[in-house]
Amino acid sequence: MSLLIVSLFITYMLFNIYTDFLYLKTKGYWHLIFLVLCICLGVITHIKLLDLMCVVCVSLVVGILRENMKLIRFSPGDTKMIIVASLFYFLISPEEGVLYTALIVHIAIFMCSSILTGFITLLLLFKSFIRFKTITGYHSIKFKKMNISLVTDGWKVTRMYYCLPAAISVLGGVIPLILMSLK
């Protein structure tokens, strides 16, 4: 049963990544379909409906808090995606606490997002250094004021015309949790 849940989660996330790269948004009914599917799978595997609803509520509250923060801001679509990801993780490891499940998923996604942000910032810094080194020499980097801002999911990367979808951070944060909890 856990292999079915993992394959459904990977299908869900790959579709989210595809639509995020293509349109930078996903349809709300896609999240609703998988939310209902997770609840049905939870009922089939004899998980209490109250526990499933608690995971949804805690994930929703933490997601709404993250939507209103300035540095680690998520969009409403990302919150819906994290709610469904929390349910998938709870279906894999129902012995974890309800509060623990929602919070650990958010923390894992935040850590993956921070690592991805740091990596992209370093790449932009390296690209800027290489570009200015080849134009004016090695010491030009100290004369140029670096204009690299933090990259947050779903927001524009510094002076580029593409965005980093949050689905990558969600997938990168939840897959290690799921793989560690598989028996």
Instruction: Say if residue 102's pLDDT is above 50.
Output: yes
Q: What confidence score (pLDDT) does residue 183 get?
A: 64
Q: What global pTM score does this model have?
A: 0.74
Confidence of residue 147 (pLDDT cuts 50, 70, 90): very low
The mean of the pLDDT values for the chain is 77
Helices and strands in the chain, H and E counts:
6, 0
* pLDDT at residue number 17: 82
| Range 50-67 average pLDDT | 89
For residue 81, the Cα-to-chain-centroid distance in whole angstroms is 8
What pLDDT, on a 0 to 100 scale, did the predictor assign at position 164?
64
Q: pLDDT grade, residue 131 (50/70/90)?
A: low
* Of 47, 146, 31, the residue nearest 93 (C-alpha): 47
Is 82's pLDDT higher than 60? yes
**DSSP secondary structure of 53-71:** HHHHHHHHHHHHHHHT-SS
- Residue with the two structure tokens 């896609």: 30
Q: What is the pLDDT of residue 126?
A: 79
Query: Over 90: is that where the pLDDT of 36 sits?
Result: yes
Please give the share of the chain, as a percent, with pLDDT higher than 90: 14
Which whole number is the average pLDDT over 27-40?
A: 89
- Name which of 8, 87, 24 is nearest 53 in CA terms: 87
